[in-house]
Amino acid sequence: MRKKEMIAMLLAGGQGSRLGVLTATKAKPAISFGGKYRVIDFPMSNCINSGVDTVGVMTQYQPLQLNQHIGIGIPWDLDRRLGGVTILAPYLKSDQGEWYTGTANAIYQNIEFIEKYNPDYVLILSGDHIYKMNYSKMLDFHKENKSDVSIAALEVPWDEASRFGLMNVRQDNRIYEFEEKPKNPKSNLANMGIYIFSWSVLRDALERDSHIHPDSDFGMHVLPMLLNEGAKMCAYPFGEYWMDVGTIESYWSANMDLVKTVPEFNLYEEFDKIYTDADHQPPMYTGPDAHVQATLLSEGCEVLGKVYNSVLGPGAIIETGAQVRDSIIMENCYIGKNSRLYRVIADTNCSVGDDVIIGDGENRPNADKPRLYNTGISVLGENTTIPDKVSIGKNCVVYGVTYPYDYQDGRLESGQSIIREPSMKGGV
C-alpha cells in the first residue's frame, strides 16, 4: 500500500438525541440540510477540496441512510482503488461485538485501517458540523509549528463562551490549558473538534489511554493527557462560518442563514463547492399565482402558493393558497391547499392536508421534551401525515400517520405531541 501523507477519520456515529424526532430513524450526519444536501456532505466535500483523498467514516447509530448516501464515494470523487472512502462500522471481534464507546475509542478500534496507509498525519473530523475549511492550510500550520497536535479554534461571543470547551493559548498559539464549559472563562477560543495529530503521537496516546479509559474520548482523556505530558499542542485560528447543528434551534438557524440577502454561509461560490449524492430531478416550477421570496428551492419543487424565508428540499410541493414562512420543508413533502406553516421543520415524505395551520398560539415548551422543543419551532417526523382542517401550535411534535380524532376539537395545543410510531432509541 502506497504511503499517504495525511488521511481523514470522520466520526459519524453520533445519535444526535438533542434533535429529537429528526434522528429517530437516522444518524445526525444523515439529516438533510440546505434542501438538497446532507450534513455529512460538508466535511466530506472539505476533504476532497483540500486534497485529502482517503477518508474513513465511522458509523454506529442508525447507519442505513448514511451508508446509502455515502455509497462508494462517487459524488466526492472518493471512489478510488487506492484510498477513497471506507465505511468503518463496529465489527465482531472473537466471540463478541464491540461498540464505539468514545471518540478516541472509535479511532483506536481502527488503528489497523490507518496503518494500511502509513500516514505521517491523521485528521480527525466530526460528521455533524456545517462549515468550509481547507485542511491543507491547517496541515501547513501544523508542520510550521512542529506540533504534535493542532486543534482548530473559533472565537465565540464572550457571553456564550461558557457553553463550549475552551482553550487558553499563549501568543505563539501554543495551548497551555483546557477548560470544559467554565462558569468564568479566561478565553473565548472554542475547540471545534477538528484535530490534526502526528500519527506516531496519536497511536501511542490511543494505546496507552485505552488501558485506562474503555470509553476513551479526545476532549476528556487523550488531549488533557498529552498536554500534561508536555506535548506541543497549538490552536489553529479559524475565522469563517461554522455551526454545530446539534439542536432543533441551531439546525433551523443554520438553514435560515442560507436565505439571508447576504448569506452568512454561501453555497453558490464556484470554489470549495459542496458535493452530494443527488438523483436527477425534474426542474423546479412556480405557478402563475406563486410568490417566492428569500427561499432556497431544490430540484423538482412545485410551488403554487407562497413561500417566504424558507428552505425546500427536492420534490417538495406547496399547493395553491398555501403559505410557508421561516420553515424547512424536506424532500418529497406535500403542503395542501390553503394551509399555513410558520417556523416548521417537516422531515422527508411528510403530507400536510388542506386548510391546516401549524405554528400559531403561545410559545409554550413541549410537555414531554421541554429541553428539546422550546423555541417556537414545531417538528414533523419523516413520513408524517396531517389530516385536513386541523391546527397545531408551537413547540409541537407530530410523528406518524395521524387522523382527525387525534386532534381534540381539531386542535393540538402548543407544547403537545402526537407520536404514532414505535419509540426509537433516538427519542422523539
pTM: 0.90
What span, in angstroms and rounded, lies between the C-alpha atoms of 284 and 134? 33
Find out whether 357 and 392 touch, Cβ atoms under 8 Å: yes
pLDDT for 204-246, tens place per residue?
Answer: 999 999 889 988 889 889 999 999 999 999 999 999 999 989 8
Query: Which of 58-62, 343-347, 366-370, 393-397 comes out lowest in average pLDDT?
Result: 58-62
pLDDT at 101 over 90: no
Instruction: Give phi and psi for 137, each to the nearest 5.
Output: -70, -35
The b-or-e profile of 308-321 (16+ CB within 10 A means b, else e) is: bebbbbbbbbbbbb
pLDDT at 341 over 50: yes
Q: So what's the pLDDT on residue 167?
A: 95
The amino acid occupying position 317 is I
pLDDT at 423 over 80: no
Instruction: Give CA–CA dist 188/165, Å, rounded.
Output: 9
Q: Give the residue with greater pLDDT, 74 vs 352.
A: 352
For residue 325, pLDDT beyond 70 = yes
Model pLDDT, residue 94: 47
3-class DSSP assignment, residue 313:
coil
Is a pLDDT exceeding 70 seen at residue 96? no
Residue 93: pLDDT band by 50, 70, 90 thresholds?
low
For the stretch 275-318, pLDDT in tens is 887 766 788 999 999 999 999 999 999 999 999 999 999 999 99
Average pLDDT, rounded, for the chain: 91
Average pLDDT of 382-388?
Answer: 97
Helix %, strand %, coil % for the chain, to 5?
20, 30, 50
| 3-state SS track over 101-116 | CCHHHHHHCCHHHHHH
